[in-house]
Amino acid sequence: MRVLEAIRRANEPKEPEDSIRFRIACTGTVLVAIAACASLGEVSKGLAGAAMLLVSLGMTFSYLTRNRPPGAVKVLVAIGAVGALVWFFHDVTASPPTDIAAVEDPLTVLFISILVMHSFHVPARRDLLFSLGASAGLMAVGAAQAIDVSYGWYALAWLGFGLWALVEMWASASGGGRVSAPGLGTALGAVTLASAGIFLLLPAPTVGVRINFLSQAGTGGPVAVPGALAGDAGRPAELSKPGTPSGPTRVGGYLGFANSLDTALRGRLSHAVVMWVRAQRPSYWVGETFNSWNGESWTNTDNSSHFVPGGSPFTVPAPDGVGADQQSDLQTFFVNTATADLVFHAESASEVWFPTSTLFYSNDGTLVSPIGIGKGAIYTVESAVSAPGPNQLRADRTEAGLTPQEVKQYTQLPDAYPRVKALAQAITAGDTDTYDKVESLISWIGANTRYSTDIPPLPKGADTVDEFLFGDRVGFCEQISTSLAVMLRTLGIPVRESVGYVPGPYNPVTDLYQVEADDAHAWVQVWFPGYGWQSFDPTAVVPLANPSPGATALSDLGRALKRVPYVPLAAGLGVVALVVVAVRWRRSRPATWAERVARDVERAGRKAGRPRRLSETFAEYADALDRLSGEGARLRILASHVEASAYGRRDPPAELRAQLLGVARGKRLDRMDADLREAVLSGSGPRPPSGR
């Protein structure tokens, strides 16, 4: 019986909510949440528009029927909510979820359905609060899929409506009371500080590996030769078109993403966002590799292409030279602008979720899409990566390595490079293992060369490495990494050139790396027996793990503060402070001569140890000061002129006003001119009462 009684009490009709503003604010939170999910594609814009219209109609109906809500509506809402829950659980359990969208998209529809049905039965305050809370859950579902900070505009709009709703709720609950501005500001400040503290303490993000992220085709479209890197159509889908010296940027698409990597070409890359990446750990995201060097360009002599049928998830054969002690690494790529038809990945891809029925791969691990990868494309790659430490790489390993033919292939040079070999031997003279030789060469390059994309064209017939190492030693990643590769090859160390992207700036809000066009990069991969191809880079550093959001935010703040021009800022703040002080001083100045007189008298009284009481009139206060000073009715006479001006609107002449101000500031009457003294005593103001 107690349970039934509790249920009965819980369902008793509550006091109807009459506040229109409270209802509008709660409705605003629901509408913003639905629009936010539609902006992410979690529901169609048509469905979102219909839901927003129904919510608006439902909230209006609920307001009009708040005093006598129809019982049938409540029953229909309850039945509809139960039906929506049954549909949701059936949808997500019908098949094992292999895609996070298989859970999040139905969850979004569930939230919207309940909000729509609930809007037709919202008579009381608690019902409106349910709408507010459910809209917060819907915003959280959307935030889980947001990949850039543009979602923050929806979050700010929701917070604005939510804050308004809470203020109006308090006003309604208190019978018309209002929240003071200082109290509201204090509460917001406390919440902001608490949120910032929690944000700074958040650990580094982790990526779930049991539910793999979605794959989605973008706007790229078909390519002329599926499986091939270079195309001649010149459409955005085929940005891997080889670079030409006659082109506007002297490169085709992005540097290196073609059948050859021509180090003689010069080009500039923009800060345009190419893609966002969510990864278990940051990495070099490989596009393709090259093994043959001719003094100017890299090519791959083993670029035979195979295809993997069957659709997602594609199981990709292990590439040549896979090392031991590998760990799983899951990455999801959200493409923002059309890019090459390469499927980027960390180290050795093992499984790929991609929106096609076929995928092409090469023996070196290069993955090629049969369609152009355009804006809106999403794909996920699970890679096997190894991260041995320096001591592991220094140790001798007896596991099978490269075949003699492969060693010859990865140490090939177009000529002997005698000067390069002599330089490399001199730099690594004290090193006994491959790892230390690589590190010594990287250190020398860092100390003796300069990175710049603004370099002159390569002279016709010149060798890139000779020109770089024995010329001005200025170049960008292609010249620098190629020089390192050739130096290592002169020492008999197998190495290949690799191109792709390095992680761009990490966004602590979205937990995504923002990869820009100028993050396209070239580096070297060195062979280590037992560990396979390991990436080394003289010009960029990839962190070992995802940073924590708080550490990233503080680092970004520190860099921003270093760029602040403190002298101009201080000067500007000083000017603003002076203006504020001047405005406040001007506003605080007495508006009339009578106010100035009264303030001067009160200031003198405070200095004499007799402040004015709240209950005293100015005349009574003047009498008290006169008795205290023993100087007769000097201030009482002054008070009579002030009261005549304040209440009788009888202002004395300008000269007399100046004398009255002098009296207020301590000037004695017997030192005045006789005519002015008489004016002070009887001129424009009433004569003081006799006997005073």
Query: What is the 3 state secondary structure string of 185-226?
Result: HHHHHHHHHHHHHHHHHCCCCCCCCCCCCCCECCCCEECCCC
One DSSP character per residue, 432-463 reads -SHHHHHHHHHHHHHHH-EE-S--PPPPTT--
More confident residue, 680 or 40: 40
Amino acid of residue 427:
I
What is the pLDDT at residue 605?
A: 81
Instruction: Out of 68-77, 226-235, 346-355, 442-451, pick the least confident.
Output: 226-235
What is the pLDDT at residue 207?
A: 66
C-alpha 641/C-alpha 601 separation (Å) is 13
C-alpha 637/C-alpha 617 separation (Å) is 14
C-alpha 45/C-alpha 51 separation (Å) is 10
C-alpha 453/C-alpha 150 separation (Å) is 31
CA 652 vs CA 557, 597, 657, 661: distances in Å: 62, 13, 6, 12
Instruction: Out of 301-310, 602-611, 655-664, pick the least confident.
Output: 655-664
Cis before 248? omega within 30: no
What is the pLDDT at residue 496?
A: 93
Average pLDDT across the chain, whole number = 79
What is the pLDDT at residue 690?
A: 39
More confident residue, 153 or 554: 153
CA 190 vs CA 136, 170, 187, 368: distances in Å: 20, 18, 5, 52
Residues sharing a CB contact under 8 Å with residue 614, sequence separation 6 or more, in sequence order: none
Range from 47-56, 203-212, 382-391 that averages highest in pLDDT: 47-56
- Helix and strand element counts for the chain (H, E): 21, 22
What is the pLDDT at residue 573?
A: 85
Instruction: Out of 103-112, 385-394, 538-547, pick the least confident.
Output: 538-547
Decide if pLDDT at 265 tops 80.
no
C-alpha 9/C-alpha 359 separation (Å) is 62
Parallel, antiparallel or unpaired: strands 292-293 and 327-335 = unpaired
What is the pLDDT at residue 253?
A: 41
Q: What token pair was written down for 197?
A: 């503290």
Q: Report the phi/psi class of residue 393: left, alpha or beta, with left for phi > 0 and alpha for psi in -120 to 50.
A: alpha
Range from 110-114, 247-251, 578-582, 595-599 that averages highest in pLDDT: 110-114
CA 439 vs CA 240, 435, 544: distances in Å: 32, 6, 17
Model confidence at 315, pLDDT cuts 50, 70, 90, reads: confident
How is the beta sheet containing 260-262 ordered, strand by strand? 260-262, 297-299, 292-293
Range from 60-64, 227-231, 629-633, 664-668 that averages highest in pLDDT: 60-64
C-alpha 101/C-alpha 663 separation (Å) is 84
Decide if pLDDT at 681 tops 60.
no
Please check whether residue 661 is in contact with residue 593, taking contact to mean a CB–CB distance below 8 angstroms.
yes
Please check whether residue 495 is in contact with residue 402, taking contact to mean a CB–CB distance below 8 angstroms.
no
Looking at residues 451-468, what average pLDDT do you find? 83
Instruction: Enumerate the β-bridge partners of residue 382.
Output: 330, 351
C-alpha 114/C-alpha 130 separation (Å) is 11
Q: For residue 316, which of 257, 379, 367, 280 has the smallest C-alpha distance?
A: 367
Decide if pLDDT at 252 tops 50.
no
Decide if pLDDT at 312 tops 70.
yes
Q: What is the pLDDT of residues 120-147, one digit of tens each?
A: 998 988 889 999 999 998 998 888 777 7
What is the pLDDT at residue 32?
A: 94
Q: What token pair was written down for 141?
A: 């579902």
More confident residue, 206 or 136: 136
Model confidence at 603, pLDDT cuts 50, 70, 90, reads: confident
DSSP E strands, 401-560: 450-451, 474-475, 495-501, 506-507, 512-516, 520-528, 532-536
Residue with tokens 């402070």: 577
Model confidence at 484, pLDDT cuts 50, 70, 90, reads: very high
What is the pLDDT at residue 233?
A: 47
For residues 265-302, one letter each, b for 16 or more C-beta atoms within 10 angstroms of the residue's C-beta and e for the rest, the string is bbbebeeebbbbbbbbbbbbbbbbbbbbbebbbbbbee
C-alpha 202/C-alpha 623 separation (Å) is 68
Q: What is the pLDDT of residues 12-56, one digit of tens each?
A: 656 888 889 999 999 999 999 999 999 888 888 899 999 999 999
More confident residue, 74 or 644: 74
Model confidence at 98, pLDDT cuts 50, 70, 90, reads: low
Model confidence at 210, pLDDT cuts 50, 70, 90, reads: low
Looking at residues 581-606, what average pLDDT do you find? 75
Burial of 81 (0-12, 13-18, 19+ CB in 10 A): middle
Decide if pLDDT at 158 tops 90.
yes
What is the pLDDT at residue 59?
A: 93
CA 592 vs CA 582, 596, 680: distances in Å: 19, 7, 18
Decide if pLDDT at 643 tops 80.
no
Decide if pLDDT at 437 tops 60.
yes
More confident residue, 199 or 444: 444
C-alpha 262/C-alpha 644 separation (Å) is 95
Decide if pLDDT at 545 tops 80.
no
Instruction: Out of 151-165, 317-331, 469-483, pick the least confident.
Output: 317-331
Residues sharing a CB contact under 8 Å with residue 250, sequence separation 6 or more, in sequence order: 243, 244, 265, 266, 267
CA 394 vs CA 324, 435, 438: distances in Å: 15, 6, 11
Model confidence at 399, pLDDT cuts 50, 70, 90, reads: very low
CA torsion, ordered 640, 644, 646, 649, to nearest 10 deg:
-160
In 491-608, where does DSSP find H-type helix?
A: 549-562, 566-588, 593-607
More confident residue, 689 or 322: 322
DSSP E strands, 354-411: 358-362, 367-368, 371-372, 378-385
Decide if pLDDT at 491 tops 90.
yes
Decide if pLDDT at 243 tops 60.
no
